[in-house]
Amino acid sequence: MVDSTGLRTVLRVPGVPRLLTAQTFTVFGDTALILTLAVWAGNRTGNSSAASMTIFAFAAGVVLAPAAGGFVARRAPRRMMASANLAAAGVVLSLAAADRGPFWLVYPASMLYAFAGSISAGVLVGYLRELVPTPLRIPVNAEFQSLHQLLRLMSPVAGVWLLGAGGMAIVVLVVAGSLVLGAALIMLGPDVGVPVEPEPARRGRTGYRLLRSDPGLRGISLLVIAASAAQGFAQTLGFLVIEDSLHRTAGFIAVFVTIQSVAGVVGTRIGAIRRITRPVLLVRIGLLLTGCGYAVLLLPGLYPALTAFVLVGAGLPWIRIGYTSALQQHSTPGTAAGVALAGQSLQSLVQTTFIAAGALLGSYADWRVLATAMVIVLLAAAASSVRVGGRGS
């Protein structure tokens, strides 16, 4: 029996192959720049706080992106995505001024870059909603997530290598060029029209209001909030485990990140993920895998720690694919991009808040307290009776 949700079927959807190629260049730019910019900031100032602040500026840009939801909803998605890419490329080029001029320019540039990138990612969700037949949305979302996981593994290394080989100037040129090429490929894709809602219906229908008012979106968003909170704690937990349990240097975190990224790529290639038709089931399986991973982390020794991050890396993409699919199935053509922006912003806001909370709690409590709290939250969310009804539940 032929698998109607396999890669060959997905690639036969008009426009999807070109969009995947465009996203290869766009996501390469995104994932290469974030870590590279943080490394560059730390090297230039000699201050790790300066590096951390660039990450915070990126997070702030994502959180603010829903403010553009109304503007985005009234634009054709193909042109909006290309325009966001070109705007991001312009922001990247402005970093050349920060390389030789006032350093503080890097922070507003980082925020604007993340703002434009979030708009492109949010519009992509709405674009795929109109481009892809409903039965193939989860398989297509899985392919895009698989690409993202692969580039998340490779492009930060490429970015740091470029920084060492040619300095920030070469990083700026490569990332800006990648974004421009992505914009050009997007414009070669098929166009889809977005019905414009009447003005009275449009008022008050922001992404956040729709997340709250739709029972299906509200329920699945609560599950994703649990995952985002746990992942916020994870930013501190990894370093605490390395220091207090494994007794290794902080640089060992690169091993955990690599293992988690490889597991993420493999996790998105599992055939079962493409045959599940209920987004909430994908999210619950992802929560279960991630919760079990952090439970294994409580066992002493190196091998349980490595196994833990395999499970975590495999589970997180399932949550993202399920949530993206739910955002598409519970939205309309005129609201899909705005709802996606709000969903991304919500995840970023929760995760950033819990990064700070985890860092504070980690200063006073044993790492096992953090890990246990994460296990409880994740497994409770996976088994919860949170109602996720309505379309696509």
Of 92 and 100, the one with more pLDDT? 92
Averaged pLDDT, 71-78: 81
- The whole-number pLDDT of residue 84 equals 92
Counting beta carbons within 10 angstroms of the beta carbon of residue 193, is it exposed (0 to 12), middle (13 to 18) or buried (19 or more)? exposed
Averaged pLDDT, 328-345: 83
Averaged pLDDT, 195-219: 66
- The whole-number pLDDT of residue 310 equals 94
Q: First vs last Cα of the chain: how many Å apart?
A: 27
pLDDT confidence band for 1 (50 / 70 / 90): very low
pLDDT in tens, 252-285: 877 888 898 899 888 888 877 777 878 999 999 9
- Out of 88-92, 155-159, 260-264, pick the least confident: 155-159
266-279 CB burial, b ≥16 within 10 A, e <16? ebbeeeebbebebb
pLDDT above 70: residue 202: no
How does the average pLDDT of the chain come out, rounded?
83
What is the CATH class of 7-194? Answer: mainly alpha
Q: Do domains 7-194 and 205-383 have the same CATH topology?
A: yes
- The whole-number pLDDT of residue 258 equals 85
Averaged pLDDT, 110-136: 88
- The whole-number pLDDT of residue 236 equals 82
- The whole-number pLDDT of residue 166 equals 82
For 175-325, where are the E strands, in sequence order?
A: none
- Of the ranges 103-107, 220-224, 385-389, the best mean pLDDT one: 220-224
* Contact criterion met (CB below 8 Å) for 196 and 334: yes
To the nearest whole percent, how much of the chain has pLDDT over 70? 90
Averaged pLDDT, 180-185: 93
* Contact criterion met (CB below 8 Å) for 318 and 272: no
* Contact criterion met (CB below 8 Å) for 126 and 337: yes
Q: How far is CA 112 from the centre of its chain?
A: 17
Q: Tokens representing 13?
A: 């959807």
pLDDT confidence band for 309 (50 / 70 / 90): very high
- The whole-number pLDDT of residue 192 equals 74
Averaged pLDDT, 210-224: 86
pLDDT above 50: residue 68: yes
Pick from 93, 145, 184, 59: which is nearest to 317 by CA? 145
- The whole-number pLDDT of residue 388 equals 60
Boundaries of every domain in the chain = 7-194, 205-383
Of 375 and 338, the one with more pLDDT? 375
pLDDT in tens, 33-67: 887 887 887 777 776 567 667 878 888 888 888 88
pLDDT confidence band for 198 (50 / 70 / 90): very low
Averaged pLDDT, 21-28: 90
43-56 CB burial, b ≥16 within 10 A, e <16? eeeeeeebbebbbb
pLDDT above 70: residue 203: no
Pick from 262, 225, 253, 281: which is nearest to 146 by CA? 262
pLDDT above 50: residue 21: yes
Of 182 and 272, the one with more pLDDT? 182
pLDDT above 70: residue 201: no
Residue type, 381: A
CB atoms within 10 A of CB 255: 16
Contacts of 382 (CB under 8 A, 6+ apart): 223, 284, 285, 287, 288, 291
Per CATH, the number for 205-383 is 1.20.1250.20
Of 6 and 72, the one with more pLDDT? 72
pLDDT confidence band for 184 (50 / 70 / 90): very high
